[in-house]
Amino acid sequence: MFTDGVTTAGGDPNPVATAAKAQGIIIYCIGLSGNGGIDVQVLNDWASDPDSAYVAITPDDAELEDLFEDLAQNIAKPGATNIVLTDHVASCFRITTLYTPDKGTASLIDSNTVEWKIEELGVSQSEGAVLEFAVEHIGPCSGTVEVNADIDYTDDEDNVVSFPSPEIEIDCGTDVHEDCPAVFELSVDGCEDTVEIDAGDLYFGSLGRIIELNVTLKNVCPNKRIALAAVLTEVDTLGIEHKRGLKTMTVPAHTGASCQDVTVRCIKFVLPEDLDVSGSSTAMCNERNFIARFIAHYIDNDFDCCGMLF
């Protein structure tokens, strides 16, 4: 059917299309933009399922000629075998989720490429296939952007296949944000259980401070959880430490093949201004000094004292 989907004469086409499909008739709908545009939902209702295989829309004459030629070749050929489809998404996207296709198998080659293999399709009857995956915009492109960079298709019958080219409108707006506080990197080397750092000068323009700590646990063995504690104190002018906070957490086990570093980020401490022990009379924006300490140990272990399990 070559149509804009708008019925101008006759009765309701839906029962006719439904009856035809029930008798095994395959209906392709080719969208042609008219004065009132295209009613895409109507084309999807009339056409055979899935819509991605039997509905095509194009306002371009040259593309329309190519579409009819490809369609004629595919209808005349007895299906396809050993199909391999490789979809490369644009570089400003990354694939986040790959769903199981209704036919064949799909796998991620990398964060921008998915490969879909189907042993045969449309050999004994007319049929389509659907694969879905989710992408995330990671920049820097904006405006109207094509999701696919290109799609490679091959089969043993040398079929020619046309695919839709979905577009996404990306408007990130104006990037306005407050600068993040200074970052103090912490690491625990070797067999050390504690690390100490002087945070130095911290200046904030509000009635209080927020300290956000990162720590890297070195050479963590696989399949072992870590118990981690972060202890924060504030140092007054006499060098005396005052307690400011304690946080404990469980760091999930990683499943790598060997020991690897595990970074714990954004351990936050809230420090109201009335806790300031710097001795300054200005009350705000003065220098405050802190010390952060970390304690970490394995939760999971294979220790068995004298054969007595705990």
pLDDT of residue 199: 67
DSSP 221: P
Domains and CATH numbers, the chain: 1-76 (3.40.50.410), 77-176 (2.60.40), 185-298 (2.60.40)
Residue 83 near residue 153, CB atoms below 8 Å: yes
Counting as low any pLDDT under 50, the low residues of the chain are 176, 204
pLDDT of residue 78: 65
- Percent of the chain clearing pLDDT 90 (strictly above): 28
Phi and psi angles of residue 283, each rounded to the nearest 5 degrees, phi first: 70, -30
Residue 278 near residue 237, CB atoms below 8 Å: yes
180-232 confidence digits (pLDDT tens): 666 667 777 777 777 677 766 655 455 678 899 999 999 999 889 999 999 99
C-alpha Rg value of the chain to the nearest Å: 31
Give the CA distances from residue 208 to residues 22, 38, 288, in Å, rounded to whole numbers and listed in that order: 71, 59, 11
Q: Tell me the whole-structure pTM to 2 decimals.
A: 0.38
Residue 165 near residue 148, CB atoms below 8 Å: yes
pLDDT of residue 136: 86
- What's the helix, strand, coil split of the chain in %, to 5? 15, 40, 45
DSSP 111: T
pLDDT of residue 208: 76
pLDDT of residue 235: 92
pLDDT of residue 39: 84
